[in-house]
Structures are given as C-alpha cells and as structure tokens.
Amino acid sequence: MAYQNKPKGCEGCPAYNYGVGFVPPSTPENPKLVLIGQGPGQQEAYNSKPFFYLAPIGERLNKWLYHAGISRTKIAIGNLVQCWLPATHRNGVPLGNREPTTQEMVWCWNAHVGPWIHRLMGGNGDQRVVVVPVGVPASRFLLKIPPKKAADKFLGTLNWVELPELRENKLKETTL
C-alpha cells in the first residue's frame, strides 16, 4: 500500500499541506452502528483503512468488538479528519499523531464525514444508525462539548444529539 492522494474536497482545508494521505471510511451495506475516531495514525494512513487492524488502536477496537459480540464487517468506521496529522517532523520524516483542530474537523465534516453519515441515514434521516464517537476529540465535536468543559463526564453515556450541520466549505483566501 501507499498513502492515498487527497480528493478535491480537501483543497482549502487548513490541514491540506500538513496532513498525510487520505483514509476514507469503511462502509458495509446497511450498517446500524457507526464508529467515529479523531483521525488516522500513520499505519491507518499508509494502508488507507480507519482503525487498521495491525495498528494499536485497531487491535484495541477489535478486542472491544469481539467482547461485545459485534462483527467489524457489520459496522461503519471512520474518522472526523481523514488524513494523518503528524505531531512533528524530524529530518523531513513525519512522526506521531496530534489532535485535529476545530477548523480541521469542521472542514472534514463538511467535505467528507457529514455527507457520508447522511448517506448512511438514507439521505433524509429515515434510516436509524447509532453514531459512537471514539475518544475525546470525536466526543467533543459530535456531542458539542465546549472546550473548557470536561469531556470525561460524557464518555460512556448515551446521548441523543443532532449531528452538526453541513455547510459548504470556502477555500482559504491567500495573500501574496
């Protein structure tokens, strides 16, 4: 495998020149459960698969699903940001992971993630799916938890929320 090129919808994203690769969500037919993480790590980006089974988080997810009696092939899995956001670069080599910024999450939500989830819901919300944020950044974004409020109070709870609105992304204006 190799890092997948970013699609046109990524142009103008605050992470466009920084993020590495592109990891589209995995979608089986008619899923009832959708897991959303913060973003892919290096192994996920390299293999273009969210929660790649050989990456540490993919192994952990597989254990959770096994113990819950849920087949990974029956659930949709994606991320709020669909490119790998390295924490740093050393000698030109990207290393580690960093959390996506709010602007990066909003951009990717409007360009990729939101439309994907709306398609899973039948376009007009007539199909029921359970959307589960995995981790604090995804929980903050999907549950609309303010930055200063502790997110851990919401973890492990059941919340009925409206998904964030979809808006058209605007290309960043550049000045020379």
Q: Which residue has the tokens 């973890």?
A: 155
Using only the alpha carbons of the chain, give its radius of gyration: 16
Model pLDDT, residue 77:
97
Name the strands in the sheet holding 130-133, side by side, starting at the edge strand that comes first in the sequence.
76-79, 33-37, 130-133
Model pLDDT, residue 173:
47
Q: pLDDT (tens digit, 9 = 90+) per residue, 45-91?
A: 999 999 999 999 999 999 999 999 999 999 999 999 999 999 987 88
Q: Are 38 and 23 in contact, with CB atoms under 8 Å apart?
A: no
The three-point CA angle 166-36-84 to 5° equals 90
pLDDT tier at 175, thresholds 50, 70, 90: very low
Beta bridge partners of 33: 130
DSSP H stretches of helix in 6-159? 42-47, 56-68, 102-108, 114-120, 136-143
CATH (one of 2.40.50.140, 3.40.50.300, 3.40.470.10, 3.40.50.720) for 20-153: 3.40.470.10
Q: Are 55 and 97 in contact, with CB atoms under 8 Å apart?
A: no
Model pLDDT, residue 124:
63
Report pTM.
0.85
Q: pLDDT (tens digit, 9 = 90+) per residue, 111-158?
A: 999 999 988 888 666 678 889 998 888 888 888 887 777 777 776 777
